[in-house]
Structure 1
């Protein structure tokens, strides 16, 4: 059964751990501090640390972006070459990346900037880290953005990984404004190593979240390999950057659950639900924990809470909907297929999911309408033929 799997979310180099569905929120984690502004609630620290893990050496944040002396020299020699002086700085960096990445092996390993450049391989997160390392050498401005892509699943025993994606923006240097001059938008280069039509842009993330992705990815890999001490050490680095990151908390909860410490996992889920924006991953993983413990009332409450969670990844809702569909929970399935459509109304998958759910409910007229929309949005000719075939079956039976 898919519900017995632990889910680990990656970002083509970004690993976030997922476990099941969420539990109901509690109020004891937020305590009012009368000595401060009453509009700012005091958040009680989460007791997530454990002394049962053996310390491990892991890369520092400086190590992640550090390049060798030769790598730095090669880049700056190109960047400041007289022959390139006529090219704007942000374009120069883009051109250098395009040149050095020829023949690059885009496999799924997460590397530091130096290792990625030495091995000439790495996933999209590794390449975003390399981009940031080069940007740091010439003091350009950079920004990071999540990109939601059609998920890639890999199963390892009771752990399933889910891949997503990240891209970078490198901006042109700011110049003094002339009199009466207004800048509407700064020029920039978008560096996206896997641009596809089905990609859906997500939230911008700050540097601490970006660096956390590095540690989360390696922690996820370590968890799959059952290297729990290393996974804990990596997550400790991520927690030092930001204790409010929902995906770091989710990964940490999965680690504890994998070790059989369900009490610690649940405590982390509660904290994340009370003090962060939450995520579908956290809710799903917590729900799985409740289901395994037979806590049906709390499970039902959490399934209801899922609908109010804000998540801009349509594929996450689509995946959740399919889990309910496979378990013949059609009401929930339809709800989350429609959430997927609401987030990304231009993707065909949500419409197809809603169509098959309406069909199972016996509501063939609505099934036909949603199937027709899926056919209209689908680009691949082979899939259009398949969808049209299914649509004709619905028409006949209607």
Structure 2
């Protein structure tokens, strides 16, 4: 357990009670709607980073990983098929549709042509067949298809409101990316149309008010590697996670989330010295990155470096109230201590921050049941059931709801 010098310490980023469970949070580019970092101002360094000094291959078994080229490659049979579809569609149209407009319609991200799966990051070849994945999968597939038709693209990192998740002992803040398809240039054609078409699960008006940052393909590829490294880490595949995150950092040494993920891997290997070295490298790029500061604070607290810890913790404490899992974990503790009215208050506060989390409704349901408010218990269990996509959770909620109705 982490030896923080409080009897009960609540993680200011994730709201975890440290004396109950050991969790190392990572901030990853999973494809939902949350940003890679908060909206705080940052100080970004321009000094070069010696990334090779961060790697310690001797701690891991060499593992083969997907190459950058393989991420965006498509089966030749699929390429031939989509070209045939394009030729056929053009032959049946009265006026030839601009190719980037046709491709956007073919992908159909906003029209049911692509199934959203938040924890599903796959290369273009798999995504093309399954037609499902997260926003990173969608962007990778769209970029690969655009390359087939020589369509220019623009990648974007969208700074929307945080969406929190918890998987395999990790707290994750999901990120969001999309891309624009640009009109191809033709010296003999003058176009008065909008030259860009957005490819996204979300309509353009939904993201217009949020911060947008263009990223190049190399940074996007680093984000992809960080995604699948985090997925491997959740599955406790540490050798694979290390190989993937090493590639991510080499692709873009200034993508802080990847350096933080590397440090988390070292923490799981029990090497705090190497983890701290990585955290310090991340802070040399962005000295206000919340996840890096939090993880560094854990090490400082364990080593009784309390002055340093206090300086970092002061920054982190301001972020605590924005995290729904802080309220959720407070509710969980109140429930297990049978302080049910207090638990109700905390669960409701968690839902105010994140009304998309099925476990929040489940917690509120079981608390209402404990207080004898059976109608409210059933209502919230139904909401939990409607929100979950996990088969095991769905079965569990269905059984509990049936038991409530038959009581």
- Given the two structures, how large is their TM-score scaled by the length of structure 1? 0.65
For residues 55-204 of structure 1, what are the structure 2 equivalents within 5 Å?
Answer: 55-80=62-87, 81-83=90-92, 86-98=96-108, 102=112, 104-107=114-117, 108-147=119-158, 148-157=160-169, 159-176=170-187, 187-195=195-203, 197=206, 200-204=210-214
Q: Residue 249 in 1 paired to residue 262 in 2? A: no
The number of residues matched between the two structures is: 300
Q: Residue 48 in 1 paired to residue 59 in 2? A: no
Q: 1:41 to 1:130 in 2, by over 3 A?
A: closer
Q: Residue 318 in 1 paired to residue 322 in 2? A: yes
Asked whether the 8 Å contact 1:145–1:201 carries over to 2, the reply is no
Q: 1:278 to 1:54 in 2, by over 3 A?
A: farther
- Please state how far the C-alpha of 1:9 moved relative to its aligned partner: 2.8
Q: Aligned to 1:59, what secondary structure does the other structure show?
A: coil
The equivalent of 1:234 in structure 2 is 244
Q: For residues 243 and 316 of structure 1, what CA distance do their matches in structure 2 show?
A: 28
Q: For residues 251 and 92 of structure 1, what CA distance do their matches in structure 2 show?
A: 38
- Please state how far the C-alpha of 1:278 moved relative to its aligned partner: 5.4
- Please state how far the C-alpha of 1:300 moved relative to its aligned partner: 2.2
Q: 1:51-84 deviations in whole A, cap 9, x for unaligned?
A: 2211111110111111111210122223344335
- Please state how far the C-alpha of 1:99 moved relative to its aligned partner: 8.6
Asked whether the 8 Å contact 1:145–1:167 carries over to 2, the reply is yes
Q: For residues 76 and 280 of structure 2, what CA distance do their matches in structure 1 show?
A: 46
Q: Aligned to 2:155, what secondary structure does the other structure show?
A: strand
Asked whether the 8 Å contact 2:110–2:201 carries over to 1, the reply is no
Structure 1 residue runs of 5 or longer lacking an equivalent are 19-24, 31-39, 309-314, 327-347, 351-398
Q: For residues 9 and 74 of structure 1, what CA distance do their matches in structure 2 show?
A: 38
Moved more, 95-104 or 119-128: 95-104
The equivalent of 1:223 in structure 2 is 233
- Please state how far the C-alpha of 1:231 moved relative to its aligned partner: 0.5
Q: Aligned to 1:8, what secondary structure does the other structure show?
A: coil
The equivalent of 2:272 in structure 1 is 262
Moved more, 297-306 or 218-227: 297-306
- Please state how far the C-alpha of 1:153 moved relative to its aligned partner: 1.1
The Cα RMSD (Å) is 3.9
- Please state how far the C-alpha of 1:237 moved relative to its aligned partner: 1.4
Q: 1:293 to 1:186 in 2, by over 3 A?
A: farther
Q: 1:325-378 deviations in whole A, cap 9, x for unaligned?
A: 97xxxxxxxxxxxxxxxxxxxxx969xxxxxxxxxxxxxxxxxxxxxxxxxxxx
Q: Aligned to 1:170, what secondary structure does the other structure show?
A: strand
The equivalent of 1:291 in structure 2 is 301
Q: Aligned to 1:47, what secondary structure does the other structure show?
A: helix
Q: 1:101 to 1:241 in 2, by over 3 A?
A: farther
- Given the two structures, how large is their TM-score scaled by the length of structure 2? 0.63
- Please state how far the C-alpha of 1:218 moved relative to its aligned partner: 1.1
